[in-house]
Chains A and B, each alone.
Chain A
Amino acid sequence: MIQRETLTINMGPQHPSTHGVLRLVLELEGEVVVSCRPVIGYLHTGIEKEMEHRTYHQNITLVDRIEYLSSYHEEFAYCLAVEKLLGIEVPKRAQYIRVILAELNRISSHLVWLGTSALDLNVTSLLMYCFRDREEILELSEMVSGQRMMPGYFRIGGVQQDLPEEFFPRVRRFLDEFPRRLDEYEVLLTDNLVWRQRNEGVAVLRREDALRYGVTGPVLRASGVPYDVRKAFPYSSYEDFEFDIPVGEHGDAYDRYRVRMEEMRQARRIVLQALDRLPDGPVLVEDRKVALPPRRELVRSMEAVIHQFKLVSEGIHPPKGEVYAAVESPRGEKGYYLVSDGSNRPVRVRVRSPSFSNLQALPVMVQGGMLADVVVAIASIDIVLGDVDR
């Protein structure tokens, strides 16, 4: 009598290829994965509960740290939700600035993905190149907001301050050189036999499964669904810009790679258009019940002092209600569901995290594949565990 047994192994939470503290309980038959059960929660920070005890402005600091690779998108989504709740309109210049920074953040997040995914497949030098490019974007971020990561730059009603003069020549220089660098990386990977064999047909997610699991972002687009929040529900002047949405066909890791590489080029395209057409004007809404008055007004106007005092000691008081606002983060649809009861603290802040939904589709992707393909699958979904666990 021959008995067959499957081998259950544990991958993580401390593992070089899980891109964070993710634990996978894999059931293997030889090298073939029979089932995969992700165990998450190793980075659960209680941010949603923490946000219920802080004012709306204080929460901007907390939301930065959820999806830490794309902090600008987090702030973007949160500020959009609060502005929707308040019913205020952000000045046009601030909208364009937000778009510029968000798209630069998309490029830097995809560069991290490219570097770390390539590292998983042992293309070790690409990590250095991608992070070299990312350093330039981080320096731009530092120029604008003072911080490389976790900028805390967006405010409810606009952005904290205008872009400095040094920003423009620097960003144009970066964007001029960037396509050539992307071409270099594509030459290394796109037609590389080893890269293709390890990525084509691996971690396939069919269109129906993607829709069933609520998958969004490049993973959904690689499976053939042309859904992008920037095109479907345009926010913050995205309708002013011309850009394409790359859509894949097979839903495998190779298509996801192609989609993200093309997204970086399209992001560059959007930034160039926004820089060319950047309108003049204020960068923060003028409503003194929402945004702090500029410093020079405090010397002259008693009312400004009172507004400043009220805003700093209490915060804003949005009307009672609930809203949902979403942006297209590098990983998918990042949404914020805010419930307010009229006081200065939110009643509930729910972060709709794209990585949480995308990770739920992982068992479907790796079933029947080899163990080595699990690494490729995790890398191609591009999860950020801070976003999964919050």
Chain B
Amino acid sequence: MARVDLDAEAEGLRRNVLTTTVDRMLAWARSSSVWPVQFGLACCAIEMIATTTSKFDIARFGMEAFRASPRQSDLMIVAGRVSQKMAPVLRHIYEQMLEPKWVIAMGDCASCGGVYNNYALVQGVDKVVPVDVYVAGCPPRPEALLYGLMKLQEKIREQGKLGTLRRAASVRVG
């Protein structure tokens, strides 16, 4: 019987085979192709569009597919001020998204009400939907939004390591 060189075998396996958990695989897949829903409200939406264009290129993160339908998207970037009239619509769109879903509050108005503090605006979109990442700025530069998106990707991958992905997916919202 031929002798098998166990060390060389182990080395070969380590070089050619990647072992991981299913959660981490899922997290890697989910974070690499987050599809946002088109939810540009005001000025921040213009900077969001600028992020998708060639100078800042959101496509290198796999996020250039802004879906018009919330049923096909994972991420809602609330870009702009949320008025009292728009808040129920925002919630409705959020509820139409399928799990797992994330929310980025882009800009000061979505994070905390921004420059405005009056009867017409909801002071921060986290009063309506749960927010994962807040991106400050008025409007935030496209680089700032990209940094926020990268933080979100980190968060998704962390959820994979902690094993909270599928548990989060089973929580009912609303």
* Inter-chain pairs besides A16-B38, A20-B41, 13 sampled, C-beta below 8 Å: A13-B86, A15-B68, A21-B41, A43-B42, A44-B83, A45-B81, A50-B117, A68-B43, A116-B49, A132-B53, A132-B55, A149-B139, A150-B43
Whether the Cβ atoms of B120 and A127 lie closer than 8 Å is no
Interface size on B, residues (CB 8 A): 35
State whether A49 touches B141 (Cβ < 8 A): no
The minimal Cβ–Cβ distance linking A49 to chain B, given in whole angstroms, is: 6
Mask: chain B, 46-80; 1 = CB below 8 Å from A; 0 = not:
11011001110000000000001010000000001
Pick from B43, B68, B81, B120: contact of A149, CB under 8 Å: B43
Q: In whole angstroms, what is the CA distance A225 to B121 when docked?
A: 38
Q: Is A169 an interface residue (CB 8 A)?
A: no
Main secondary structure of the interface of A (DSSP, over half): helix
Return A111 CB to nearest CB of chain B, in Å.
11
Min CB–CB distance A390 → chain B (angstroms): 9
Main secondary structure of the interface of B (DSSP, over half): loop
What residues on B are CB-neighbors of A62 within 8 Å? Answer: 115-116
Q: Are B47 and A149 in contact (CB under 8 A)?
A: yes
**Pick the contact of A128 from B39, B53, B83, B141 — CB < 8 Å?**
B53
Give the interface centre of B43, B119, B139 by most chain A CB atoms within 10 Å: B43
The reply to whether B118 and A68 contact each other, CB–CB distance below 8 Å, is no
Interface size for chain A: under 10, 10 to 19, 20 to 34, or 35 or more residues?
A: 35 or more
Which of B45, B89, B116, B141 is close to A45, meaning CB atoms less than 8 Å apart? B116
A14 x B89 contact (CB < 8 A): yes
B-contacting residues, A307-354, CB 8 Å? none
- Tell whether A42 pairs with B86 under 8 Å between CB atoms, given A50-B118, A148-B141: yes
* Bound Cα distance from A112 to B55, whole angstroms: 15
Residue of B38, B47, B50, B83 near A42 (CB, 8 A) is B83
- Chain A residue at minimal CB-CB distance from B81: A45
B150 within 8 A of A: no
Residues from chain A with a CB closer than 8 A to the CB of B53 are 127-128, 131-132, 135
User: Which residue on chain B has the smallest CB distance to residue A61?
Assistant: B115
Residues of A within 8 Å of B26, CB to CB, are none
A44, A62, A132 — which one has the most chain B CB atoms within 10 A of its CB? A44
B3 at the interface (CB under 8 A from A): no
Q: Say yes or no: is B129 at the interface (Cβ < 8 Å to chain A).
A: no
Judged by a CB distance under 8 angstroms, whether A46 is at the interface is yes
B120-A46 in contact (CB<8A): yes
A383 vs B55: C-alpha distance in the bound complex, in angstroms?
A: 25
Question: Out of B42, B49, B85, B86, which one reaches A386, CB within 8 Å?
Answer: B42
Q: Is the CB of A149 within 8 A of B46?
A: yes
* Distance (whole angstroms) from the CB of A128 to the closest CB of chain B: 5
Whether B93 is near chain A, meaning CB under 8 Å from some CB there, is yes
Do B86 and A21 have beta carbons less than 8 Å apart? yes
Interface residues of A (CB under 8 A from B): 13-16, 20-21, 41-47, 49-50, 61-62, 65, 68-69, 112, 116, 127-128, 131-132, 134-135, 138, 148-150, 385-386, 389
Bound CA span A14–B81, Å: 14
Which residues 76-120 of B sit at the A interface, judged by CB distance below 8 A? Answer: 80-81, 83-86, 89, 93, 115-120
Q: Report the bound CA distance from A389 to B84 in whole Å.
A: 12
Residues in B with CB closer than 8 Å to A127 are 49, 53
Contact of A14 among B39, B49, B55, B119 (CB under 8 A): B39
Interface residue? B165 (CB, 8 A)? no
User: Would B89 and A13 count as touching, CB distance under 8 A?
Assistant: yes
Residues of A within 8 A of B45 (CB): 20
Asked whether B68 lies within 8 Å of A68 as measured between CB atoms, the reply is no
CA gap between A134 and B55 in the complex, in Å: 11
Given the interface pairs A45-B116, A65-B115, A150-B139, the reply to whether A131 lies near B55 with Cβ below 8 Å is: yes
B133 contacts partner chain A, Cβ-Cβ < 8 Å: no
List the B residue with the shortest CB-CB distance to A53: B118
B138: CB under 8 A from chain A? yes
